[in-house]
Structure 1
Amino acid sequence: MQLDFLTLLATTAISLFMISASLPLIMGRNISASARYVQASLLLQALAWAAIIASTYVPATLADRILSTVSIGCGTAAQWMNYRALAGWLGPRPWPRLLLVLVVATPLGYFLSFGSYAIRVGWANTLLAAVTLLVARATLQPQRPAETGWRRLIFVSMLTMAGLTLARGIVGAFTDQYPSFRTPHPVNLAFALGACVTVVLNTIAMLVAWRDEAEIKLRELAVTDALTSLPNRRGFEERAQAMLAHARRHDLPLTALMLDLDHFKQVNDTHGHEVGDRALQLFSRLLKETRRDGDLAARLGGEEFCLLLHSDASAGAPLDQRLRQRLRQAAPAELGLEIDFSAGLAVLRPDDTSIQPLLARADRALYEAKTAGRGRMHSATQDAMN
C-alpha cells in the first residue's frame, strides 16, 4: 500500500477538528485552565494542518507564504498550550521563557526566510523540534502528584515527533531529496504518519490527565471544609496520623490544641447565620496566619477547631495568646462584635498508639476551660490559665 503524504495530513487535520469539536461536549463547561489549554492546543493543531494543506494549492505565491507561516505559528502555539496544560497539572515547568522565544521565533524566521526553501525548512523544523523537546521535558519531574502512565505516553510521543521533525529539517536543508512539502520522501511520510498516530496518543494521555485532575479535586473536596477551606475531620485525621508517625520516627513532641468559639449559638441566633459563617471564616483565617509552617489546623465540625503542633506544651500558651489577641482586634472591625474562644491542650504520651487518645485528652481539657468560665486555655497537665 502506497502512502500519500497529503492524504495523511488531511486525515490528521480531520481527526483534530473532530476531537476539538467533541472535547467540550465530553469535558463540559466547568473545567480547569489546563483542560482549556488542551482544547485550544487541539484546535490550533487542526488549523495548522488545514493551513499547510491549503498552501499546497497556491504554491510560490504570497498566499502560500502567509498560509505556511500561519501553519507554523499555529503549530508552535499549540505546543505552548500543551506546555501550559502540563504546568497546571504538574506545577511550574522548566524553561518557559526559552520556549516562548522559540514559539515566536519559529514562524517569524520562517516568514522572513521564505524565499529560500532550504533555509526556511531547516529553520522551521529545527526550532519545531526544539519546541517539541521542551514540551517532552515538561512531562518529567512533577512537583504535584501525577500518574506516570500518561506522562510517559506524552513524553514518548513528543520525543518521537521531535526526532522526525529534526530529520525532516536536515533532509530539506542539506539534501535535494526533499524539494517540496509534498515530496513522498520516507522521512516526510514517517513524519506525517507519526503526526497522525501521536494525535491519538496525546489526546488519550491528556484525557487521562484531565480525569486524574478531576479525581484529585474530588478527593480534596472530600477532606476539605467548604466554608473555611481548612481540612475537615476526615482530612485532619488522615494528616494527623502522618504527623504522629513522623513524630514517633524522629522522636519529636506533638501537641494538640482543641479550640471552640464561645457562645457561638448566640452569635447565630442574635446576628444571623451569615454573620456566624463570617465569624468561622475569620477565625479560620487567623488560625492559618498564627500557626507555623508544618502545624496542622482543621475545622472538626460546627465551631470546633483543632491545631496539631510539632512542639512541646510550651508552644501552646504563646500561640493561644497570639491568636486570642488577633481575634480581639479583628472581630469588632470585621464582624461588628466581639468573639472569644476556649482551648484545651494536651501532649503526646509515650503510650499513645494512635492520635485518638491525644485528641481525647485535649477535648477534656477544652471542656474544663469552658466549665471554668470560657475565654481561656486549659492544659491537660496544668491548671487553667487566662
Structure 2
Amino acid sequence: MPSPQPAQRTLLPEVGAGLVTTLVGFTASFAVVLTGLAAVGASPGQAASGLGALCLAVGLGTLGLSIASRRPLTLAWSTPGAALLGGSAALPGGFGDAVGAFLLCAAAIVATGLWPRLGELVTRIPASLAQAMLAGVMLPLCLAPVTAAAANPAWVLPTVLIWVLGLRWWPRWAVPVAFAAALASVGVAFLLGVAHVDGDALAPSLQWVAPSLSWPAVVGIALPLYIVTMASQNVPGVAVMASFGYPVPWRATLLITGVSSAAAALAGGHAINLAAISAALAAGEESGVPRERRWRSAAFAGALYVAFAAGAAALAGIALAAPGGLLAAVAGLALIATLGSAVQGAWEDASSRLAVVATFLVAASGVSIAGIGAAFWALVVGLVLRWALAARRGA
C-alpha cells in the first residue's frame, strides 16, 4: 500500500496576510498623507507623486528587510508625521522648502543609525511631551469629520455612519470600509457633475521637486517630523516586534528607512519608518501563518505596496476631487485612534501634567511665530515648564 503523500504547502496564507497588511496600512492613512502634503504647499500632482514615491519606498524597503533578515519586518510611511504636516504653517519657499525639510529629516534618521548617541538624545525628550505635541497637532484634523458633517451632511454623514458600523462589526477594517464608502460618494459626485478630475492626472507619474530650505522649514518641520517619526513610530515599532519575539536590526532598519525617505522626498514623500500599528498584521499569531514563514507575509506586503504605487496617482486624483470636505473627514476618522493613544500616553505622566497640557494646547492652537509652526513651540513651552516645575519642587 503506497504511503500517503505529504500535504502540499501553498503560499495562500502568506499572500492573504500580506494583502491584509497592505490594504489596512494603505487605506487607513493615505488620506492623511494627501492632506498633510497639500497643507505644506504640494499641488495635487505633487501630492499624488509623494504618495506614489512613499508606496515605492515602503514596498522596496519592506522587501529588502524581510528577505535579508528572514523576519516579518514591515515599513510604513509616518502617519503621525503626515498629521504634523497637516497642522504646519505655510513655508516661505512653498513645497520646495518642505521637501528640503524631508531630506533633512531623512539625513537625521541615517545619522541615528550611524551614531546611536543621536537616538539616545531623542529618547531623552519626555515621551509625555512628545505625545502631547502629537495629540495637539492631530486634534484639528480629528475635528474635520465633525465640521465637515455639519457643513455638508449629505456627503459626509454616510461615510461617518459606515465607519461607526465598521467599528462595531469589523474593527480592523473600519477605516478602509469608510474609505470605500467615501469613494462611492465621489462616484456619485462625478455622476452629478459636482466633482471633476483631469484625466491626465490619473496616469502614474513621479514629479521631482527641487528642494530648498528655510529656517522655518528646519525648525518647524524637519525637527518635529524627525522626533515624531522616531518617538511615535520607530521606537514603538521595535517594541511591537519584540513582543512577537522578533528582534529588529536597529542600525540596518534606520539606514534603510533613512535612505528610502531621502529618495521618496525628492518626489514629494515625507518620511518612512518601521511599522508599529500594522506590524502585527504580518507578525502576529492572528495572521494564521506559521512563525518560520511569516517573513514571507511581509515580503508579499512589500511587493503589493510596489504594485500600489502604479495606482497611487489615480487614487489620489479621485480622492482630492472629493466634495464637501470628504477627504479631510476620512483623514480625521483615520487619526482618531492614534489621537486617543497619544492622549493616553501624554496623560500618564502625573508629575508633569501642567507641562503636558500646555504642550497640547500650544500644538492644537496652530499658531505660527516667526514663520515657525506650533509643533516646535509646543515642545519649547512644554520643556521649559517641565524644567521650571522640577526646579521649584527641588527648591
Please report the TM-score for the alignment, with normalisation by the length of structure 1: 0.26
Return the structure number with greater strand share: 1
Structure with the bigger percentage of helix: 2
